[in-house]
Amino acid sequence: MGFGQGALEGVVLNAAFWSGKRVFLTGHTGFKGSWLALWLTQMGARVHGYALAPNTAPSLYDVAGVASHMSASTLADIRDGEALRAAMQGAAPDVVFHLAAQPLVRYSYQAPAETYAVNVMGTVNLLEAVRATPGIRAVVNVTTDKCYENRERTEPYTEDEALGGYDPYSSSKACSELVTSAYRRSFMEGLSIGLASARAGNVIGGGDWASDRLLPDFLRAIDAGKTLMIRYPDAIRPWQHVLEPLSGYLNLAERLAEDPRFAEGWNFGPHDHDARSVEWIVNTLCSRIAGARWQREAAPQPHEAGTLKLDSRKAHQQLAWQPRWNLETALDKTVVWHQAWKQGADMHAFSLEQIRTYQEAGSA
């Protein structure tokens, strides 16, 4: 397809740091969690996952054979504090990544109590388990770009701006940020554990089959020969390939393990010019894929933010982190992955090859 070339920049991860490291990863059966598990195991980390079973069929977790390369996988609920603590203590990790969440805005309107229980009390349970587990050096809690109080402005949001959220999902993630801040100051600093939060943009990439997400919905419509229905074509989001924020989380954990002064909130968003409208995304894809088409959904829809951008200068300056693939390349990699899956390719090997290509782009 050839949408474009990625930017040849970005910090190189320290594979030697991760080789042999014990990592506890919540949400490892999800889209982002599966990609992170693949990357960590590729670098030689001993990954213990904790999550519910995949909630889509197919799933990246199953298609790419993620579990077969992990040290252990516990299928349990983040709301079960005792099970979580037992699993973490059994894993005896050096580093913890918290990705388990209820991640969908529209579903949060249907199930607000569940959303808060998972995203807020799940964070509390995670941090209580950390407090009860000796030897942990770094914890990264992954939240979202939607944790900010959205003013519907064109300027991107920086890490020190007000937290908020119109919908239960966004609000619950702002609450998770507040929980993280309180635990950092109340407990983790005294335990010499580096605890940080990470806020990323709208991630895309191969292996995402979630409902009510633009790229999965688009690819499903193409596969079914249907017209894609778009709710908010004018909405602007900070789109980025899933490997972009994951590289930030990994880099941040490396720094936290050595220097708890990095224990803060961090944005990992795309360059400003890659914050594009939904309409731009679907028109770009339709121009390159024969038969693809879309139209605006006429029925009333729940509120979603119109404009949202992230300011990632702090990560650029203090972590030497930069986006490596521009948006057109991210779209290319997503569609190529999907096509390879449809053709019956070895998706574990194919996914690792995309990670390798991404790493080489960053070191060029």
pLDDT in tens, 84-110: 999 999 999 999 999 999 999 899 999
- How many Cβ atoms are within 10 Å of 32's Cβ, its own excluded? 25
Q: Is residue 196 in a domain? A: yes
Percent of the chain with pLDDT over 70: 95
Query: How high is the pLDDT of residue 304?
Result: 67
One of 61, 169, 232, 358 is an active-site residue; which one?
Answer: 169
Q: Is residue 187 in a domain? A: yes
Q: Is residue 192 in a domain? A: yes
CATH number, position 53: 3.40.50.720
With a cut of 60, say whether residue 344 has pLDDT above it.
Answer: yes
Q: Is residue 339 in a domain? A: no
Return the SS3 of 307: strand
Query: How high is the pLDDT of residue 303?
Result: 64
Q: Chain-wide mean pLDDT for the chain?
A: 93
pLDDT higher at 291 or 282: 282
Q: Is residue 75 in a domain? A: yes
25-39, 220-234, 319-333: least confident range: 220-234
Return the structure tokens found at 172: 């619950």
Cα–Cα separations (whole angstroms), residue 163 to 6, 124, 202:
32, 18, 18
pLDDT level of residue 309 (50, 70, 90 thresholds) = confident
116-125, 174-183, 217-226, 246-255: least confident range: 217-226
pLDDT level of residue 4 (50, 70, 90 thresholds) = very low
- Quick one: which of 198, 203, 202 has its CA closest to 321? 198
Strand partners for 95: 23, 138
> Who contacts 4 (Cβ-Cβ below 8 Å, separation ≥6)?
326, 327, 328, 329, 332
Q: Is residue 354 in a domain? A: no
Our answer to whether residue 232 is catalytic in this structure is no
With a cut of 80, say whether residue 299 has pLDDT above it.
Answer: no
The mean pLDDT of 287-293, rounded to a whole number, is: 88
> Who contacts 46 (Cβ-Cβ below 8 Å, separation ≥6)?
20, 21, 22, 23, 71
Query: How high is the pLDDT of residue 3?
Result: 43
Q: Indicate left, alpha or beta for 225 from its phi (over 0: left) and psi (-120 to 50: alpha).
A: left
**pLDDT, tens digit, for every residue of 240-286?**
999 999 999 999 999 999 998 999 999 999 998 998 999 999 999 99
The mean pLDDT of 153-162, rounded to a whole number, is: 93
Q: Is residue 244 in a domain? A: yes
Q: Is residue 278 in a domain? A: no
Query: How high is the pLDDT of residue 305?
Result: 63
How far apart CA 126 and CA 364 sit, in angstroms, is: 37
**pLDDT, tens digit, for every residue of 312-336?**
999 999 999 999 999 999 999 999 9
Print the domain residue range for 43: 15-204+240-271+309-325
Q: In the chain, how many domains are there?
A: 1
CB neighbour class for 231 (10 Å; exposed up to 12, middle 13-18, buried from 19): middle
CA torsion through residues 346, 71, 209, 353, sign = negative
